[in-house]
């Protein structure tokens, strides 16, 4: 009888372990595009290359994660949140600013950042026009506010690929703020709108290469 009880206990223990393993959430990566909704082909009212750049980042990240994660911990998911509402454009309400916190899109983004277990990275993707000056002049990739905590060390120190730089944003990026407060690693990347498709792919690879994907 005692032996039977032991056997049942062991079976129960095994079932509990199997259950816990199955319930472990996958590593999650969030890519946000707050300025991707374009309504006007002439006036600049959006980040014109941001969606294409985010696509390139997503493809590269997926390929790299598929290659590098292995064993019992290879499950991952990449979640994309593009802002798409052309009725409320950036000049009315900028989705990357504090004022937008109550909007439907931001409520979704913020809740996801705060509530998702194992959210490894938040990658906020933007683009800038050829006319952009200051830090952006002549650059193909600008990484803003890497000092929020996470940083792209390989770029900021190595600079092996030309026309990339890190800089401080002139205004606070609120998606990064939310991520920072929730103790999530986050980065804001700005791609030049002059880049062609191979250029976008190349610099997307630089972004992914700079992320610490190991933990
Ligand atoms: Zn932007």
Helices (H) and strands (E) in the chain, counts: 6, 6
Structure tokens at 144: 């803003």
Q: Is 99 exposed, middle or buried (0-12, 13-18, 19+ CB in 10 A)?
A: exposed
Query: What is the gyration radius of the CA atoms in the chain, in angstroms?
Result: 21
- In the predicted model, is pLDDT for residue 158 greater than 70? no
Between the CA of 68 and the centroid of ligand 1 the distance, in Å, is: 30
Spatial contact of 125 and 54, defined as CB atoms under 8 Å apart:
yes
pLDDT at 85: 80
Determine the Cα–Cα distance for residues 139 and 133; give it in Å rounded to an integer: 10
Between the CA of 93 and the centroid of ligand 1 the distance, in Å, is: 12
* Mean of per-residue pLDDT scores for the chain: 84
- In the predicted model, is pLDDT for residue 161 greater than 60? no
Between the CA of 28 and the centroid of ligand 1 the distance, in Å, is: 23
Between the CA of 128 and the centroid of ligand 1 the distance, in Å, is: 7
For 181-202, the DSSP string reads HTT-EEEEEEEETT--HHHHHH
Give residue limits of the domains in the chain.
Answer: 24-210
- In the predicted model, is pLDDT for residue 154 greater than 50? no
Between the CA of 35 and the centroid of ligand 1 the distance, in Å, is: 5
pLDDT at 147: 55
Between the CA of 127 and the centroid of ligand 1 the distance, in Å, is: 6
List, in order, residues 6 or more apart from 208 with CB less than 8 Å away: 57, 60, 61, 64
For 29-75, the DSSP string reads EEEEETT-----SSS--S-TTHHHHHHHHHHHHHHHHHHH--GGG--
Determine the Cα–Cα distance for residues 138 and 143; give it in Å rounded to an integer: 14
pLDDT at 195: 96
At 119, the pLDDT band (50, 70, 90 cuts) reads very high
Spatial contact of 160 and 184, defined as CB atoms under 8 Å apart:
no
Lowest mean pLDDT among 5-19, 43-57, 121-135, 173-187: 5-19
Between the CA of 74 and the centroid of ligand 1 the distance, in Å, is: 32
pLDDT at 31: 98
At 14, the pLDDT band (50, 70, 90 cuts) reads confident
Helix (H) or strand (E) holding 121: strand 119-128
Between the CA of 94 and the centroid of ligand 1 the distance, in Å, is: 9
Between the CA of 1 and the centroid of ligand 1 the distance, in Å, is: 69
What is the tens place of the pLDDT at every residue in 94-108?
889 899 999 999 999
- In the predicted model, is pLDDT for residue 140 greater than 90? yes
Domain over 24-210 is classified CATH 3.40.50.300? no
pTM (predicted TM-score): 0.83
Between the CA of 145 and the centroid of ligand 1 the distance, in Å, is: 13
């Amino acid at each position: 009888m005692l032996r039977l009880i032991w056997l049942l206990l062991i079976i129960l223990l095994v079932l509990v372990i199997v259950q816990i393993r199955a319930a472990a959430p996958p590593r999650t990566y969030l890519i946000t595009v707050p300025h991707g909704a374009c309504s006007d082909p002439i006036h600049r009212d959006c980040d014109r290359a941001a969606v294409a750049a985010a696509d390139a980042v997503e493809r590269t990240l997926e390929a790299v994660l598929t290659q590098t994660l292995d064993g019992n911990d290879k499950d991952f998911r990449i979640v994309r949140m593009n802002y798409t509402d052309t009725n409320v454009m950036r000049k009315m309400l900028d989705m990357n600013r504090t004022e937008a916190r109550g909007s439907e899109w931001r409520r979704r983004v913020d809740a996801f950042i705060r509530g998702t277990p194992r959210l490894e990275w938040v990658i906020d993707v933007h683009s800038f026009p050829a006319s952009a000056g200051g830090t952006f002049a002549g650059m193909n990739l600008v990484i803003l506010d890497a000092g929020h905590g996470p940083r792209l060390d390989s770029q900021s120190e190595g600079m092996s690929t030309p026309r990339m730089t890190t800089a401080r944003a002139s205004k606070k990026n609120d998606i990064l703020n939310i991520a920072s407060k929730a103790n999530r690693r986050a980065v804001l990347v700005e791609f030049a709108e002059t880049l062609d498709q191979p250029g976008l792919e190349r610099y997307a690879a630089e972004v992914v290469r700079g992320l610490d994907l190991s933990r």
